[in-house]
């Protein structure tokens, strides 16, 4: 993405009365498969400065789903001042890949953003990873799980985000946890819960108390360990809610989780108190 193309897109957006410019870039190609990032820019953002960024990974059990999952989140947070990215990654339904390949793609996406930070005007030290369910696993695993690297990645570029926003994330892949039948004994290396360590990025963790895939006890233990190793972990429990409670179709929960995410990012210094944006 060159500067002329970006300015042209921004100018067209302004002429159309849009609140943000959008672009789509390919961050990785594997044989004939192209994986893209859909980009949401803040309106009239200052290209002479760098900005915090957030990348969203969709849910779907590593089997299905698509990057539109978090489009409403991207629209909101781009208006608040973040540069937002909705990420593709390979799934079983489309590409017949194991969950390990999904993680390789997520790591590649974050490395791409850091490598091209100047092109996107992002601060590579204020990069937030977010996701729901299996996408939450990918976000957490980019920070915690070693290995599972794509052969073409430049491993000198860190794939570790600076903060995590996790919506009913799959964090336990061990026996009794989600996905064990697909990852088997590799869970010890693949499961975020089993790889918590000092330096884990500050995290906010959303979960419904009636989630049949992620027990409340797992989330509580995850955050307890996080605090013991000196990392921030804010657990937000939603009483009586099940898996996927935060999605846009559950508007009241969507709105509340967005506001709590906003407050969390303010506490880290990634967002200010303005502009105030209506959530719709």
| pLDDT for position 46 | 85
User: Which residues share a beta bridge with 237?
Assistant: 207
DSSP 8-state secondary structure symbol assigned to residue 239: T
| pLDDT for position 237 | 98
8 A C-beta contact, residue 113 and residue 55: yes
Structure tokens at 31: 């044989």
Measured distance CA(155)–CA(152) in Å, rounded: 9
Structure tokens at 202: 């500050």
Measured distance CA(4)–CA(25) in Å, rounded: 15
CA angle 70, 129, 57 (to 5 degrees): 40
Compute the CA torsion angle 265, 253, 40, 131 (nearest 10 deg): 70
CA 80 to each of CA 16, 49, 165, 183: distance values in angstroms, whole numbers, following the listed order:
20, 16, 16, 38
Closest CA to 162 of 113, 203, 108: 203
| CATH architecture for segment(s) 44-267 | 3-Layer(aba) Sandwich (3.40)
Using alpha carbons only, how large is the chain's radius of gyration in Å?
18
| pLDDT for position 19 | 43
- Cα 175 to its chain centre, rounded Å, is 25
3-state secondary structure of 34: strand
Neighbouring C-beta atoms of residue 237, cutoff 10 Å? 14
Closest CA to 145 of 130, 135, 160, 132: 160
Q: Hunting for tokens 């990974």 — which residue is that?
A: 57
| pLDDT for position 45 | 81
- Blockwise average pLDDT, block size 10, the chain, 280 residues: 42 41 89 96 88 98 96 96 97 97 98 97 97 98 97 97 98 97 97 97 98 98 98 98 97 98 98 89
Structure tokens at 76: 């909101």
Q: Hunting for tokens 């729901």 — which residue is that?
A: 132
- Domain parsing of the chain, residue ranges: 44-267
| pLDDT for position 246 | 98
Neighbouring C-beta atoms of residue 50, cutoff 10 Å? 17
| pLDDT for position 22 | 78
The number of helices, as runs of H, and strands, as runs of E, in the chain is 10, 8
């Amino acid at each position: 993405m060159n500067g002329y193309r970006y300015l042209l897109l921004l100018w067209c957006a302004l002429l159309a009365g849009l609140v943000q410019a959008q672009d789509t870039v390919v961050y990785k190609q594997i044989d004939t498969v192209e994986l893209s990032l859909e980009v949401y820019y803040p309106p009239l953002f200052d290209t002479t400065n760098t900005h915090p960024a957030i990348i969203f990974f969709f849910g779907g059990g590593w089997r299905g789903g698509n990057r539109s999952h978090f489009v409403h989140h991207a629209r909101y947070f781009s208006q608040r001042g973040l540069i937002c990215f909705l990420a593709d990654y390979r799934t079983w339904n489309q590409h017949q890949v194991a969950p390990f390949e999904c993680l390789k793609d997520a790591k590649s996406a974050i490395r791409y953003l850091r490598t091209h930070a100047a092109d996107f005007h992002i601060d590579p030290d204020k990069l937030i990873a977010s996701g729901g369910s299996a996408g939450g696993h990918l976000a957490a695993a980019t920070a915690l799980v070693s290995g599972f690297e794509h052969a073409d990645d430049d491993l000198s570029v860190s794939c570790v985000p600076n903060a995590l926003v996790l919506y009913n994330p799959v964090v336990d892949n061990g026996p009794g946890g989600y996905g064990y039948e697909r990852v088997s004994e590799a869970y010890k290396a693949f499961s975020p819960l089993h790889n918590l360590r000092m330096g884990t990025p500050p995290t906010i963790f959303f979960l419904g108390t009636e989630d049949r895939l992620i027990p409340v006890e797992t989330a509580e233990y995850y955050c307890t360990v996080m605090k013991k190793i000196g990392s921030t972990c804010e657990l937000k429990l939603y009483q009586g809610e099940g898996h996927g409670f935060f999605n846009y179709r559950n508007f009241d929960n969507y709105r509340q989780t967005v506001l709590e995410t906003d407050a969390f990012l303010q506490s880290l210094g990634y967002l200010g108190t303005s502009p105030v944006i209506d959530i719709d």
